[in-house]
Amino acid sequence: MAEIFVCPDSEMKDGEVRIVRQGRTEVGVYRHKGAYFAYRNHCVHQGGPACEGIVKGKVVDLFAEDKTFLGQTYDHDDPHIVCPWHGWEYKLLTGECAPDPKIRLKKHEIVQRDGGVYVVV
Amino acid sequence: MNIMNPIVSDPARETFDTRSLLAHAQQQAEDRKYEDFMIIDVDAHHYETDSYRDIWEYIEDPVMRDQFKFTKGATMMQRSTGGYQEMAGRITRYAHRRTEQAPGAVHRDIGLTRKWMDSMGVDVACIFPTPMLGLGLNPVVEVEVQYARAYNKWLTEKILSQDKRLVSMLYLPMNDPEAALKMVEEFSGCRGVIGFLITTVRYKGLYDNAYMKLYRALEERGLPLAFHAATNWGDQSMHITNRFIATHALGFSWFNIVHMTNWVVNGIPERFPGLKSIWIESGLAWIPFLMQRLDNEYMMRSSEAPTLKRLPSDYMREMFYTTQPMEMVNNQTMLQETFKMINAETQLLYSSDYPHWDMDLPSTIYDLPFLNLQQKKNILGENARKLFKLDHYISDEKQARLAARGKA
């Protein structure tokens, strides 16, 4: 186990990501609503750099009471990490693959101390 | 615990570069030692519309050339394939490739293509255009003919003649059978021309008598004929799909299914036994479906396909197929059975489809547990090398890796 320094706590803003590389280890560190999340930068699909893509809210179908379709919207409380190679999506809050929670990005622990953000690998 | 000094980067501030985007692909290539064997990608793409200023100079009809010039190619590309392959920005290379440059390259297309080839470990790539996949829908026959010839001339003169790692099967304007035949006569033998291509989003039966001279000409020359699928959201059956996932999943198989069915039941493989066909970008799951479906119907209605001497699946098993987009989500048993049914060991050809959104890396084949190493090598390159009679070739980057291993 080792801790890797990511950045001072004040540096990252909500919605930002940093890719931390140490040898062959690559971790994506996200800040969302003041909290940090870290996942291995490796898509389960074909090994793409999952954390180097965009983050987008979960797309939701909207239905009326009678089940008629009303349209679509984003659920920004459920942001998705999107792998830039093929578009595989993972829940930023858990690392679970959006359409299949049995599949997930490898999660890393984040440590905040002395004004710094560290990821444990 | 100890604290190390990592490299920390912010993707939002980095300049787009294909080599960076595909750094993990390169790692895969190194880990799997792709330098030990040749990899041929039988279906990759470039965006010919990036070069429309060059291509318009090759359009012979001066009136059409002007139309093309002032619409920046839009007139020529009139089509209804439609869609949003870039997934609203999720596939980042779609937006970024427009500004990416390839300093030092003979041509930007060559430079950009070499970047992804070297990252993936591909030695030779067969490149196809992108919007032209829908050109067969153009209502003006002369437009298809003029643009196809201009593109083929530009491609052979400016791209294929400049790089021995790039080859192509040239677009045939099938809405004019005589023009298609002339295309074969004019461009056969040009450097890098390894066959000819029919884009299958089109509405003329390929069994028409008007095409027989074309098939004979290809058979005589020993040049394969490829069928590249696409989708057409304007097709009557696709028109009722309301999400791109639906029209894409169905269309890319459907247009090859319908032409393959016509091809077989009209006995084209019996009439031209030396003509090799390649079916591109429909995935693989459709092949066992169609084999079973046609065999079943044929046993009851053989009088409607009297030229056949064997089951439809027997002919299909002798044809060639490209791998991408390979269905591999969660049922490897079915995939293995599919490989058996199509004689993948000799008939399957690796294809990436890069840079399109559903591209497949060589590892999609290399990592399959039910293939032995020779079978993997066959599918990744050797089958294509034999089919197209290509020389054995290993890229400079891979040769450098081989040399480094030798020194180590």
List the strands of the sheet with B225-228, edge to edge: B40-45, B124-128, B166-171, B193-199, B225-228, B277-280, B320-322, B348-349
For B231, the token pair is 């989708």
Name the residue facing A87 among B1, B10, B87 (closest C-beta): B87
What's the pLDDT at B4?
57
Is A22 close to B6, i.e. CB distance below 8 A?
Answer: yes
Looking at domain B36-407, its CATH architecture is Alpha-Beta Barrel (3.20)
pLDDT for res B347:
98
Chain A residues with CB under 8 Å of B88 CB are 56
Q: How far is CA B43 from the centre of its chain?
A: 3
- Of B111, B108, B97, nearest to B51 (Cα)? B108
Which of B84, B91, B323, B357 to mutate: most A Cβ within 10 Å?
B91
Determine, for residues B90 and A82 on separate chains, whether the beta-carbon distance falls below 8 Å.
yes
Residues from A contacting B (CB-CB < 8 Å) are 1-7, 16-22, 24, 42, 46-49, 51-54, 56, 82, 84-87, 89, 118, 120
- Domain of A79, CATH number, reads 2.102.10.10
Pairing of strands A17-22, A25-32: antiparallel
Residue B74 one-letter amino acid = A
The reported pLDDT for the residue numbered B78 is: 60
Total count of domains within chain A: 1
Asked if B359 lies within 8 A of A85 by C-beta distance, the reply is yes
The pLDDT value recorded for residue A81 is 98
Instruction: Write out the two tokens for A79.
Output: 């942001």
What residues contact B265, with CB distance under 8 A and at least 6 apart?
Answer: B294, B298, B304, B305, B308, B312
Task: Please enumerate in sequence order all residues whose Cβ is within 8 A of that of B246, keeping only pairs 6 or more positions apart, or say none.
Answer: B238
Beta carbons of A4 and B10 less than 8 Å apart: no
Q: How many CB pairs under 8 A join A and B?
A: 90
**pTM recorded for the entire structure:** 0.96
Average pLDDT over residues A87-113: 97
Global ipTM: 0.95
Q: Flag residues of chain B having pLDDT under 70.
A: 1-5, 75-81
Is pLDDT above 60 for A49?
Answer: yes
Cα separation, B59 vs B148, in Å, equals 9
Q: What confidence score (pLDDT) does residue B14 get?
A: 80
Strand-by-strand arrangement of the A3-8 sheet: A110-113, A116-120, A3-8, B3-4
Cβ-nearest to B92 among A3, A84, A118: A84
Q: Is the pLDDT of residue A68 over 60?
A: yes
Measured in angstroms, the CA of A70 and the nearest CA of chain B are apart by 14
CB pair distance less than 8 Å for B12 and A16 = yes
Distance from CA of B249 to the nearest CA of A (A): 15
What rounded mean pLDDT belongs to chain A? 96
- Say what the pLDDT of residue B5 is: 61
Domain containing A28 equals 3-120
Query: Nearest CA of chain B to the CA of A65: how many Å?
Result: 22
| CA–CA distance, B178 with B228 (Å, rounded to integer) | 21
Give the C-alpha separation, B357 to B351, whole Å. Answer: 13
What pLDDT does B75 receive?
A: 63
